[in-house]
Amino acid sequence: MAESNTFKVANFIGIGIDAVTYEDIFNSIDKWIANKEGRSHHIACVNAFCVTLALKNKRLARIYNGADITGPDGVPFVKWIKRTLKVPCDRIAAPDTILELAKHSKTTGYTFYLYGGDPDVVVKMKQYLEDRFPHIRIVGYYSPPFRALTEEEDAAICEEINRLKPDIISVGLGTPKQDYWIEDHLYKIRGSVLIASGATFDFFGGRIKMAPEFIRKSGFEWLYRLFSKDFLRLWRRYILMNMVFMWNFGLQNLHIKTRTPEKWQRPETRN
């Protein structure tokens, strides 16, 4: 939610969520990637889990509030924005965003780079996108090790990405690791748009089955995922964290406790 954009903003307990459509995103990306020597830009797909994590994580809150676009990843978020701000708004979920951009690339020629996932998963994701969108140009991919990269390794991968000049970089390292990675690389990587993609790699790589479209549109995708094979990993996220979110959002709307988004505009060059 960088100050430089013109979108209306909804306050979700301290995180400013932009009221955006995919048309807004296409227009923004076209403007950003016109300068391949400038800094990269960040589209954050923020859901209730992200907002709840940011309650006690100031770095994460600052990343979301400083993103060039902070999109609503959740049907309840979209409904609330439409109801309160009275403007059009799309659900900006990472898997849908990558698919929309892949589809749109038929006319724009967007190029893609995939960063994250297990080695076999990222290869399968690449194959999935190429099979579904024969026109797509995926110029490279990298599956980083679980350990932190050395400075030399990180510099080498940044050099490769800058040589390939992708327009869109899908980053799948899990929340909040992927958000930190994006924050750390917006000036190291030039002229790209970085999107934290989370489970997108597992969905498109075939490790996790994606919920049917009617479930995703209903707002109950979380319930579908909760009772998937990832129950032991996700129950805390979807039960406990959602309860924390609803409690704090309720306090905000009762005007008992309000957190104001600390929005800020990222400079075009690093100081």
* Inter-CA distances, 103 with 24, 115, 131, Å: 16, 20, 12
For residue 233, pLDDT beyond 80: no
The answer to whether residue 250 is domain-embedded is no
Number of domains in the chain: 1
pLDDT at 107: 96
Report yes or no on 141 lying in a domain.
yes
In a domain, 248, yes or no: no
Whether residue 3 is predicted with pLDDT greater than 60 in this model: the reply is: no
Those residues whose C-beta lies under 8 Å from the C-beta of residue 37, and which sit 6 or more positions away, are 190, 191
Cα 194 to Cα 167: distance, rounded to the nearest angstrom = 9
State the pTM of this model: 0.92
Residue numbers of the domain that contains 174: 9-213
Residue 68 tokens read as 């060039």
Q: What is the pLDDT of residue 212?
A: 80
Residue 219 placed within a domain: no
In a domain, 228, yes or no: no
Instruction: Give the model confidence (pLDDT) of 15-57 as tens digits.
Output: 999 999 999 999 999 999 988 889 999 999 999 999 999 999 9
225 in a domain, yes or no?
no
pLDDT band at 4 (very low <50, low <70, confident <90, very high): low
Could you tell me where the DSSP H helices lie in the chain?
A: 22-32, 48-55, 58-66, 75-85, 94-108, 119-132, 151-164, 177-185, 200-204, 213-218, 221-226, 231-235, 242-253
Quick one: average pLDDT of 69-95? 97
Q: Which of 63, 77, 78, 89 is nearest to 7 (CA)?
A: 89
Least confident of 49-63, 223-237, 248-262: 223-237
Is 167 part of a structural domain of the chain? Answer: yes
Question: Could you tell me if 108 and 30 are in contact, meaning their C-beta atoms sit under 8 angstroms apart?
Answer: yes
